[in-house]
Structure 1
């Protein structure tokens, strides 16, 4: 998926709205295209800009999140929804899940929790594409996370000289970033040395997890760029 996932953020508290916006845009695969401060404004913007994903609060003026999600489904708008709310009662949570929320985060939450959700959503978008048929095993992994999609091989089989945690980090980063990446871009993205990133990328390419694209410029040496191999 070459383009970023376009997010509409519906949140009535301006400070929380800005914090959540910054959190979301820390992930390179996502960008916040617009914001709204209540459900009515949010519905108008959904209809106008057709985002891929809506991040939705519940306690809002004019139209709350429960009724907003209900209206989205009533109009059969093709958009995914993640709930971020202080509401923690089972009735509300169940109602939002029944109406198709991809995930439900209870305020306050840590960035790592939102990062996990967005990474899972990105993987979902990558694998469940139009006209793409998947197996029961793949569907189980997407829905229930029965196995970790960032592990190209079992940790016991990680070769000598490579670190399992770093391998996970490199794999997750390249799987949740659109397009192809060079070793330098991966190194900058996760904070490791370029030579280290290149070693892990070459290993993943050798394991048939990544595809290699060689780009030739007018000046200088060619650049190796890596991208996820779709199954």
Structure 2
């Protein structure tokens, strides 16, 4: 289990982050700190793998805390969770090794994607002594390399799209509905409809309309390009 420390001074944000974290497999909440001093106290007593860290906190802010953690030479990863969105703050957080940056307010889908990607990366690194370039590109360097090449409509999340595509190709010989895929991925049917429509538009899926005797027609989809990586499907022409 990945041991997580939430460092946040807003009680409502703590509540949501705690609830979100409980919905994702592989993570255990090991502590909650409402200040940098509280965080240092917990870190001196507990083995922590990942910190969900806010920037705006009293006395010592999140960036100062992150800098101090790096000086401690502890093997701890950090995902920033903050309303701070100015480029200087983001750049400094990345400079100090933040593995992701979530801007408040954010949807659960984005939170889940960040945590799942982190868990998958850790499993890959910990399970292998040597990594190939292909594995690095796919699981670790992928986001940084391809973010400028991929065209995404507003409202879609790249990581959720990737997870959706993985679920589709796992059942590539079956037809499915938007609702069925939404349950597999863990998002709402309304949200999943956007991703399915996008994949259909890119030629990755084919829609079939089934007319019943009563009520609205049912739309089901079939995978057309299971041999292609999702990145190849959505790269700008």
Q: Same fold (TM over 0.5)?
A: yes
The answer to whether residue 77 in structure 2 is matched with residue 63 in structure 1 is no
The answer to whether residue 89 in structure 2 is matched with residue 75 in structure 1 is no
- State the Cα distance separating 1:62 from its structure 2 match: 2.7
Conservation of the 8 A alpha-carbon contact between 2:82 and 2:103: yes
For residue 35 of structure 1, give the secondary structure of its aligned residue in structure 2: strand
Task: Give the corresponding residue for 2:98.
Answer: 101
CA distance in structure 1 between the aligned counterparts of 2:163 and 2:181, rounded to whole angstroms: 12
CA RMSD of aligned residues (A): 2.7
CA distance in structure 2 between the aligned counterparts of 1:156 and 1:115, rounded to whole angstroms: 20
C-alpha spacing 1:126/1:150, structure 2 compared with 1 (3 Å):
farther
Task: Give the corresponding residue for 2:40.
Answer: 43
Task: Give the corresponding residue for 1:144.
Answer: 142
Conservation of the 8 A alpha-carbon contact between 1:40 and 1:62: no
Conservation of the 8 A alpha-carbon contact between 1:155 and 1:164: no
For residues 148-204 of structure 1, give each alpha carbon's deviation from its aligned partner in whole angstroms, at most 9, with x where no partner exists. 477569859921x3449767975x78xxxxxxxxxxxxxxxxxxxxxxxxxxxxxxx
CA distance in structure 1 between the aligned counterparts of 2:12 and 2:167, rounded to whole angstroms: 42
- State the Cα distance separating 1:42 from its structure 2 match: 0.7
For residue 126 of structure 2, give the secondary structure of its aligned residue in structure 1: coil
CA distance in structure 2 between the aligned counterparts of 1:134 and 1:108, rounded to whole angstroms: 36
For residue 129 of structure 1, give the secondary structure of its aligned residue in structure 2: helix
Task: Give the corresponding residue for 1:158.
Answer: 172
TM-score in terms of structure 1 length: 0.65
Unmatched runs of 5 consecutive residues or more in structure 2: 147-158, 187-237
The answer to whether residue 13 in structure 2 is matched with residue 16 in structure 1 is yes
- State the Cα distance separating 1:105 from its structure 2 match: 0.5
CA distance in structure 2 between the aligned counterparts of 1:68 and 1:7, rounded to whole angstroms: 16
CA distance in structure 2 between the aligned counterparts of 1:162 and 1:119, rounded to whole angstroms: 26
For residues 20-48 of structure 1, give each alpha carbon's deviation from its aligned partner in whole angstroms, at most 9, with x where no partner exists. 11011111221211100011211221221
Conservation of the 8 A alpha-carbon contact between 1:103 and 1:117: yes
C-alpha spacing 1:33/1:156, structure 2 compared with 1 (3 Å):
closer
C-alpha spacing 1:151/1:49, structure 2 compared with 1 (3 Å):
same
TM-score in terms of structure 2 length: 0.63
- State the Cα distance separating 1:136 from its structure 2 match: 0.9
Conservation of the 8 A alpha-carbon contact between 1:40 and 1:68: no
Task: Give the corresponding residue for 2:233.
Answer: none
Unmatched runs of 5 consecutive residues or more in structure 1: 174-231
